[in-house]
């Protein structure tokens, strides 16, 4: 497998993952972004912790979906994430995820 084949393979995996994300996003309440991963979740608990002057974050996610092209099972019951960088948590506006009915001709 050449470099171009590998790049095409990874591009196809990313496209499949994006399509899956669009299909499942409406099932979740929150989008969570860390420096390493992107998650969808129905419950999010964020704790700010410190140890020896270092601040870090502990995230507990329930009913989650993990953005990872190499992961076979992206749906997980619960996830605990430790991160040392900022965490972005956004509540999804479900109306933004729906295609307006008046915009569809049929």
Identify the CA nearest to 32 among candidates 100, 73, 95, 89.
89
Q: Are 81 and 37 in contact (CB under 8 A)?
A: yes
| Positions in the chain short of pLDDT 70 | 94-106
The Cα–Cα gap between 68 and 37 comes to 7
What pTM did the predictor assign? 0.77
pLDDT for the residue numbered 106? 46
* Full 3-state SS string of 25-55: HHHCCEEEECCCCEEEEEEEEEEEEEECCEE
pLDDT of res. 95: 62
Please state the domain count of the chain: 1
pLDDT of residue 104: 52
Q: Is 4 helix (H, G, I), strand (E, B) or coil?
A: helix
Q: What is the pLDDT of residue 38?
A: 93
Structural domain harbouring 82 = 3-103
Distances (CA, A) of 20 to 23, 30, 62: 5, 16, 19
Beta strand 54-66 pairing with 38-51: antiparallel
Q: What tens digit of pLDDT does each residue of 52-73 get?
A: 999 999 999 999 999 988 888 8
CB burial string 81-98: b at 16+ within 10 A, e below: beeeeebeeeebeeeeee
What is the model's pLDDT at position 5? 79
């Amino acid at each position: 497998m050449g470099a171009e084949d590998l790049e095409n393979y990874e591009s196809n995996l990313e496209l499949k993952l994006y399509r899956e994300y669009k299909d499942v996003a409406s099932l979740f309440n929150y989008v969570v972004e860390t420096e390493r991963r992107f998650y969808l979740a129905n419950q999010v608990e964020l704790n700010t912790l410190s140890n020896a002057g270092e601040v870090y974050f502990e995230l507990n996610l329930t009913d989650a979906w993990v953005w990872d092209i190499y992961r076979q099972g992206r749906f997980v019951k619960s996830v605990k994430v430790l991160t040392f960088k900022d965490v972005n948590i956004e509540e999804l506006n479900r109306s933004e995820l729906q295609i307006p009915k008046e915009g569809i001709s049929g």
